[in-house]
Amino acid sequence: MSDSLISTYKRLPVTFVRGEGVWLWDTNGKQYLDALSGIAVCSLGHTNARVADAICTQSRQLLHTSNLYGISKQDQLGDALCRVANMDKVFFSNSGAEANEAAIKLARLHGHSKGIDLPTIIVTENSFHGRTLATLTATGNKNAQIGFEPLLQGFVRVPFNDIAAIEKVAAENKNIVAVLVEPIQGEGGIQIPASDYLDNIRALCDQHHWLMMLDEIQTGICRTGKWFAYQHSNSTPDVITSAKALGNGVPIGACLARGKAAEVLQPGTHGSTFGGNPLACAAGLAVIQEMEANDLAANAMIKGERLVQGLKTSLQGCDMLNEIRSQGLMIGIELKQPCTELVQQALEMGLLLNVTAGNVIRLLPPLTIKTAEIEQIVDTIAALVKQITK
Ligand SMILES: *Cc1c(COP(=O)(O)O)cnc(C)c1O
């Protein structure tokens, strides 16, 4: 690999040249089963025909004008995304971090309009919200932050899945304007909170007039078996951020809002040159249509259960296994010891997976995955985990 790239990534020794569905081929023609989807991006699998057609057609029609003008593909995607997310309005960005930046700015503006001069957002430990300075500050990972101080003001941190900790902050800090959490922590190790966690956050937000903001960048777009993971709860947030699977590989992000929160950002307060451009929105629209046409939310639920059942059966009695956590096709297999070496070993066996939080094997396969492909993932992981020695 070229020395000309700034080494922000420790890359695995493989380069892919072609993809189709859950399959990838490298420069030597070796075939791999992709159980990571570029970290929850290619949820429709690689080179999905509807997305490819949409990009090709759009590229011959119009690639970019400006947000100074109407953009019909942005209008259409906005309508479709608000419908599936149950939100009123949307701002389009080019990435997840930028979607969260929009949410953070929205929360601060909301605070200032209430006379709060140091608007403060509650965030959680072990969270991940992105790499820009504001989202890095919101991120609950000291290793990611180190060396980039001074970080921003206006954030307080509480443990994840701890409502009492949020209540305590509410009693002590009069500057709170919003809570920002992931419904399931992805980078944090597929951490799933209590089933009433979001409902309890909703109640606190209502009581204190805070905005409930959910980072659904990894959990959204049918990954957990619903359009957005919050739809497993009884509550609706005020703000949702989306990205990753929204473009199936074309960079696009979104900050969605509802009710009063949807009226906070006004002309001149925020913007983006590329955000919501015709090409990205054509891809996003094709993604939503393809998900609906094939009911991939339901498939995520069914195939997720199948995969977890298979893993539980074949890893039964394995003393290396701590716990399997999952919702839909967002799956974490927690082992009793660090296991980052499994990534390379799986690669050699033709399987792409990821290890996060040190000891959690993370699986985020395409939602289009077939049963035979599920079996192959199960067999490979079982073989890998069983050969680990203490
Ligand atoms: C990936 C991710 C982000 C950051 O998205 P980028 O597109 O890399 O900026 C933010 N939040 C969560 C939960 C993510 O998984």
CATH number at residue 307: 3.90.1150.10
263 and 358 share a domain?
A: no
Would you call 356 helix, strand, or coil by DSSP? strand
The residue out of 245, 270, 293 marking a domain boundary is 293
* One domain, residues 266 and 334: no
- Same domain for 68 and 161, yes or no, is yes
Do residue 193 and residue 308 come from a single domain?
Answer: no
CB of residue 330 inside a 6 A radius of ligand 1 = no
* 102 half-sphere exposure, CB direction, 13 A CA radius: 32
* Closest atom of ligand 1 to CA, residue 100: 10
Average pLDDT, the chain: 98
**Total length of the chain:** 390
What is the pLDDT at residue 167?
98
Q: Which residues form the domain of 270?
A: 50-293
φ/ψ of 213, rounded to 5, equals -120, 125
Residues serving a catalytic function are 128, 215, 244
Tell me, yes or no, whether 11 lies in a domain. no
Cβ–ligand 1 contact at 190 (below 6 Å): no
127 lines ligand 1 (CB under 6 A): no
Looking at 278, 293, 308, the residue that finishes a domain is: 293
What pLDDT is stored for residue 389 in this prediction?
A: 76
pLDDT at 390: 67
**What Å distances lie between residue 25 and 148, 158, 295, 357, CA to CA?**
38, 43, 28, 28
Whether residue 150 is preceded by a cis peptide bond, meaning omega within 30 degrees of 0, is: yes
**Residue of the nearest CA to atom 6 in ligand 1?**
96
Q: What pLDDT shows up at residue 275?
A: 98
pLDDT tens for the 390 residues of the chain, in order: 899 999 999 999 999 999 999 999 999 999 999 999 999 999 999 999 999 999 999 999 999 999 999 999 999 999 999 999 999 999 999 999 999 999 999 999 999 999 999 999 999 999 999 999 999 999 999 999 999 999 999 999 999 999 999 999 999 999 999 999 999 999 999 999 999 999 999 999 999 999 999 999 999 999 999 999 999 999 999 999 999 999 999 999 999 999 999 999 999 999 999 999 999 999 999 999 999 999 999 999 999 999 999 999 999 999 999 999 999 999 999 999 999 999 999 999 999 999 999 999 999 999 999 999 999 999 999 999 999 976
What spacing in Å lies between the alpha carbon of 386 and ligand 1's midpoint?
32
pTM (predicted TM-score):
0.98
Residue labelled with tokens 């995607």: 77
Q: Within this chain, do residues 302 and 288 fall inside the same structural domain, yes or no?
A: no
242 CA to centre of ligand 1 in angstroms = 9
- Three-state helix/strand/coil letters over 185-232: ECCCCCECCCCCHHHHHHHHHHHHCCEEEEECCCCCCCCCCCCCHHHH
> How high is the pLDDT of residue 1?
86
Answer yes or no: do 175 and 137 share one domain: yes
**161 three-class SS:** coil
Q: Is 241's C-beta closer than 6 angstroms to any atom of ligand 1?
A: no
Closest CA to 148 of 161, 160, 139: 139
Query: Do residue 244 and residue 330 come from a single domain?
Result: no
- Are 329 and 285 in the same domain? no
- With a 6 Å cutoff on the Cβ, whether 21 touches ligand 1 is no
Which helix (H) or strand (E) segment is 331 a member of? strand 330-335
Structural element, H or E, at residue 157:
strand 155-158
Q: What is the dihedral of CA 181, 360, 233, 329, to 10 degrees?
A: 120
Give the distance (Å) from ligand 1 centre to CA of residue 129. 6
Given 293, 322, 349, the domain boundary residue is 293
Output the CA 93–ligand 1 centroid distance in Å: 12
Total domains in the chain come to 2
251 lines ligand 1 (CB under 6 A): no
Task: Give pLDDT, residue 298.
Answer: 98
Q: In this structure, what are the phi and psi dihedrals at residue 296, rounded to the nearest 5 degrees?
A: -75, -20
